């Protein structure tokens, strides 16, 4: 499913003394199967933007079209079956006695036959990297990372074509972060769905996505591939952001080693570039 945003503006509490413009004249296109990152400082409009992608918010002006469905019109029930949003700390929404019942909740509202629901629950729990043995446990007995994965499994069970994740690793330790990002990457590769990741971590964005959308004060500041956006460090810094830390290291190393390609934005890419340079020098 594709997302088309045309001259989108959104004003909170319009017509009141507390009126605030949150988005101004945003236009962009996200194609089926893309893995897109959205970055920006707090208050830049990231969360407001993604809430327009399944009709939680409706434009003050402009349009958002998801696979020919205008989010300002009818068809939102159908749309929300195809666009799944995972907000920060989704585990706070877990409430059932067992993991199985929690994942099954949405499926039962769709009146899915029990045997089909069971198959789907087993499919998604394995997709997020957990054993089916966990299904009979209470979600409140699980680790933070496991709870996060169960909550995301509940969204995946609805078979969305677009998966939107708003800071999906907030509050997790490094191991939990790696686990969550690992299965998100696997889901994108195996299922081919569109994934939109909102994150404050430039390192995570550089490692995971193919395209970066940069928001600044409610406007679309930058939109391009990783190397296009993160190579413009000065522009990012002018709006209070930064490139991944490895980009600064590579820029410094280039002063000592002029022949290296300093456009490496992950530790793995930097390592490969330095090993290549050493090999060429015969070290």
Residue range 185-234, pLDDT digits in tens: 988 988 889 999 999 889 999 999 999 999 999 999 999 999 999 999 99
3-class DSSP state of 78: helix
- Region of 135 please: left (phi>0), alpha (psi -120 to 50) or beta: alpha
What is the predicted pLDDT for the residue at 191? 85
pLDDT at 121 over 70: yes
pLDDT-derived band of residue 92, with 50, 70 and 90 as boundaries?
confident
Q: What are the backbone dihedrals phi and psi of residue 110, each rounded to the nearest 5 degrees, phi first?
A: -90, 5
Candidates 3.40.50.300, 3.90.79.10, 3.40.140.10, 1.25.40.10; CATH matching 3-243: 3.40.50.300
pLDDT-derived band of residue 64, with 50, 70 and 90 as boundaries?
very high
**The two structure tokens encoding residue 41:** 């400082």
C-alpha to C-alpha distance for 205 and 225, rounded to whole angstroms: 11
What is the predicted pLDDT for the residue at 127? 87
Return the beta strands (E) in 114-254 as ranges. Answer: 162-166, 194-198, 211-216, 219-225
If you average pLDDT over every residue of the chain, what do you get? 91
Q: What are the backbone dihedrals phi and psi of residue 149, each rounded to the nearest 5 degrees, phi first?
A: -70, -35
* Residue whose pair of structure tokens reads 């686990």 in the numeric block: 179
Name the residue among 241, 50, 87, 242 with its Cα closest to residue 169. Answer: 87
C-alpha to C-alpha distance for 64 and 141, rounded to whole angstroms: 40
Percentage of residues in the chain with pLDDT exceeding 90? 58
* Element holding 11 (H helix, E strand): strand 3-12
C-alpha to C-alpha distance for 132 and 20, rounded to whole angstroms: 47
pLDDT-derived band of residue 283, with 50, 70 and 90 as boundaries?
low
Pairs from 262-270 (Cβ < 8 Å, separation ≥ 24): 263/227, 263/231, 265/206, 265/226, 265/227, 265/230, 266/203, 266/206, 266/207, 268/207, 270/246
């Amino acid at each position: 499913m594709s997302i088309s945003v045309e001259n989108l503006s959104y004003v909170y509490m319009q017509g009141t003394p507390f009126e605030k413009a949150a988005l101004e004249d945003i236009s962009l296109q996200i194609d089926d199967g893309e893995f897109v990152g959205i970055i920006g400082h707090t208050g830049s409009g990231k969360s407001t933007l993604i809430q327009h992608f399944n009709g939680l918010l409706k434009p003050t002006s402009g349009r958002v079209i998801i696979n020919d469905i205008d989010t300002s019109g009818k068809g939102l029930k159908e749309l929300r079956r195809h666009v799944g949003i995972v907000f920060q700390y989704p585990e706070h929404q877990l409430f059932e006695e067992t993991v199985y019942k929690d994942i099954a909740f949405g499926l039962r509202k769709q009146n899915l036959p029990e045997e089909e629901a069971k198959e789907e629950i087993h499919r998604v729990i394995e997709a997020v990297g957990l054993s089916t043995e966990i299904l009979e446990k209470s979600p409140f007995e699980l680790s933070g990372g496991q709870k996060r994965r169960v909550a995301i499994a509940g969204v995946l069970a609805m078979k969305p074509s677009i998966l939107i994740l708003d800071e999906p690793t907030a509050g997790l330790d490094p191991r939990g972060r790696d686990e969550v990002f690992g299965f998100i990457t696997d889901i994108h590769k195996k299922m081919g769905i569109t994934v939109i990741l909102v994150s404050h971590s430039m390192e995570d964005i550089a490692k995971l996505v193919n395209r970066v959308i940069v928001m600044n004060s409610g406007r679309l500041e930058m939109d391009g591939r990783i190397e296009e956006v993160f190579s413009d460090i000065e522009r990012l810094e002018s709006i209070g952001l930064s490139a991944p830390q490895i980009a600064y290291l590579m820029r410094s190393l280039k002063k000592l080693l002029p022949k290296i390609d300093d456009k490496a934005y992950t530790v793995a890419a930097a390592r490969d570039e330095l090993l290549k340079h050493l090999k060429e020098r015969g070290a």
